[in-house]
A and B are shown apart, each in its own frame.
Chain A
Amino acid sequence: MRDRYLPLLATIAVFAALYIAGGMFYPRIFSSLVFGHLLADNAFIIIAAIGVTFVIISGGIDLSIGSMIGFVGVAMASLIQAGWDPVLVLVLVLVFGLLYGAFQGFIIDFCDIQPFIATLSGLFLLRGACFMVNLNSTPIRSPFVSWFNNIYVDLPGGGFLTGGALVMLFMLALAIVIAHYTRFGTNVYAMGGDRPSAILMGMPMRRTTVMIYALAGFYSAVAGVIYAMNTSSGYPLAGNTLELSAIAASVLGGTMLTGGVGLVVGALFGGMILALISTIIIFNGSLNGAWIMIATGFLLFAFIVIQRWIVSSFSSAAKAD
């Protein structure tokens, strides 16, 4: 019980250390304005990371996230430009994300294909579809989008939460309920923890697999919608390699790629760590963007080593028991 939260505590400690260290150099980081911006600017990454956390806990992977984000944006822009009702378009693209994810999950289970390959094909398919729809950036102009982009909830100290941040927090709460208070959620953990045993315990493998990837597809689509609305455009290259950032956020949040271990709330902190790194480096001004990736790489590496260490000390304790 306590051990379960150990990786998350490590994540929160890293986040707090980065936040405090950053704030010492650039006190503005402590302002609620910057904090609100951190949440707003990274809401879509965190949403995608929450979705992929389910997949990773189940022992799988989803590489189609970035392409889904791009495709959702391009599809929204084109349909709205063609005069479709934006709310209808919104519902359509979310349903598309859900169904495409379900399709990937079905292929993975029915054809017994590794998730890596099945979703890699999704990465290419959906990115290709982006370019089929439109080669250029298409602006999204609609009263609905303007309305959404003007939603603000004030934070004490002059900052505010944007609509995107609010959606992200809602999606996080939903994910926590799904992961910890539904049979499906427990099945996800069981599947990643020990697949053969889960089968012998009578778990519905196909249904669970389909639902996991459907959920991830849906979260990717939501991330795509938020991204498109924030930028007010559909751009066929949007979200390129974002699946890797989402996976990184999930892993930084304490989810183990071997499956069975992790918490969805970790995705929030993992995403915020990534956001903080880039914010600090941008605040610095003299360091270029390359340092964002280098620092992320270092941190990710350190984290995997720490996780490995936690897990091995944990299992040796079990042996001594």
Chain B
Amino acid sequence: MAEPTSYRVEMRGVSKTFPGVRALDSVDLHLREGEVHALLGENGAGKSTLIKILTGALERDEGSVLLDGKPVEVHTTAEAQALGISTVYQEVNLIPTLSVTKNLTLGRQPTRYGLISWRKARMMAEERLKRLRLDIDPERPLGYYSVAIQQLVAIARALEDDTRVLVLDEPTASLDAEETELLFQIVRDLKAKGIAVVFITHFIDQVYQIADRISVLRNGRLVGTASTAELPRLKLISLMIGRELEKLGNRPVRAADDTIGAPALEAENLGRKRVMSPFDLTVHAGEVVGLAGLLGSGRTQTAKLIFGAIKPDSGTMKIASKPVGHFSPRGSLQQGLAFCPEDRKADGLIGELTVRENIILSLQAKRGWHHQLSRKDQDRLADDMIKALAIATPDAEKPVGQLSGGNQQKVVLARSLVSQPTALLLDEPTRGIDVGAHAEIVALIRRLCTEGLALLVASSEFDELVAVSDRIAVLRDRNKVAEIAGDEITRENIINAIAHR
């Protein structure tokens, strides 16, 4: 590579340890002047830790940071800003109720005799908007404008005359294609001014649209830096998800299609703008369909659209051949659809309630609160489920919060199963549970399927999907891009489908 002094930023051997986790392990990141550098990696790869060290939000344990060849110590974001390192976070961190002018000048309003001169403030704001060629009325409240414009205003606020490095943390997460293009035009302008732009995203297509070079992190290590032209998609995705090529022979041999019954779930052209492009998907009784994709590809969104937790703005859905009229979680539950969310703690279980109470919760909700389940029925249902799923708990009256992760996940499953759904949506059913429990859950999914349940399983672990699925829908950048079935289901084929244009 070129001589090191030509780098705008050099992070050398940066390490960071949090209690119990080595978040970064001797990572090097080199940013050139006037380049767009994509930083990629799955959840927990260490992207945000690395960026926070660069922008002063965190302090490194080891390593050094050089800015234009000179070692720098950055302890606060304000210091980073003073050195010309600016950050725009994923969520627009501005005040929607204030005018654009006020947002751009907050904390640095020009004052005269201690009072703000709004005439000067407005000139300052217009100057900043002009830098990004943004032609908007600075006196309107920020919330009046679209998310894309708000994002650009956030960049306008972050950019100083002497900005040398601009970090964009998932700036396109809530933008549509046109808005993204608008943002990219501006990024190209900034690049031409010699600013090193760090671009963090989950959208692979966008990386190839805008980035000059790519660095990939995995499990806190830098697994590669290459120029975009020299890094084909397939290679990139393999780098991101890792290629410890263990044997793929653990895919169970299935009985022929005789277990597959009538369609339980039929989504047609279902989608929502900015969330997920319209897709078709059918799941039959006695079938497991996997949803595969990288982080941010729309796995959870797909499940939530089907469940009605995100309201679709296009398409139709049928549950057990009956059309869904009004999309809502409550309606879906009543039609026989159940959903086990990804984050057990936030969306699923109520830790203070007992195993029994958690298990009967959605069944009770489905029946309505005026048809109380008798205590006897509750006990019976809870005991049955504890036995059927082999939930390790001394009794049904233990608070769920005290169980292990795997057993909590089983309680989530149990809760969905007591209402005897025709179809079950599982989002990351094995996240955060240990290996033994992992195998049990996988086996459980297969068993439920042979009992005639239709299952849709979203997971970031391809091996898990390969093991459980009869069919796999592959997602990329919030599009359904392929469907793989039968013997075609291999890890390679999933990766190929994601990489294929």
Residues of A within 8 A of B (CB): 1, 3-4, 177, 180-183, 186-187, 189-190, 192-194, 196-198, 200-203, 260-261, 314-315, 317-318, 321
Contacts and interface: CB of A to CB of B under 8 A. Distances in A.
A321 B102 contact: no
B107 interface: yes
A4 to B, nearest CB: 7
A197 B116 contact: no
A198 B95 CA distance: 7
B144 A260 contact: no
Contacts of A180: 116
Contacts of B99: 1
B279 interface: no
A1 B140 contact: yes
A147 B471 CA distance: 91
Given A183-B107, A186-B102, A193-B98, A200 B141 contact: no
Contact of A201 (B107, B118, B137): B107
Contacts, number: 77
Contacts of B137: 1
Contact of A318 (B89, B116, B144): B144
Interface in B98-149: 98-99, 102, 106-107, 109, 111, 114-116, 118, 137, 139-141, 143-146
B226 interface: no
A201 B145 contact: no
Q: Is the interface of A mostly helix, strand, loop or mixed?
A: helix
Contacts of A321: 144-146
A251 B99 CA distance: 22
Given A183-B107, A202-B107, A203-B107, A197 B93 contact: yes
A247 B114 CA distance: 30
A315 B143 CA distance: 8
Contacts of A182: 114-116
B146 A318 contact: yes
Closest 6 pairs (CB-CB, A-B): A193-B97, A260-B97, A193-B95, A1-B139, A181-B115, A197-B93
Given A1-B99, A189-B102, A201 B94 contact: yes
Nearest to B157: A201
B45 to A, nearest CB: 23
Nearest to B115: A181
Given A1-B139, A3-B144, A183-B109, A200 B93 contact: yes
A193 B139 CA distance: 16
Contacts of A317: 144
A318 B142 CA distance: 9
Contact of B96 (A4, A194, A200, A201): A194
A67 B145 CA distance: 43
Nearest to A192: B97
A3 B107 contact: no
B141 A190 contact: no
Interface string B298-342: 000000000000000000000000000000000000000000000
A200 B87 CA distance: 11
Contacts of A201: 93-95, 106-107
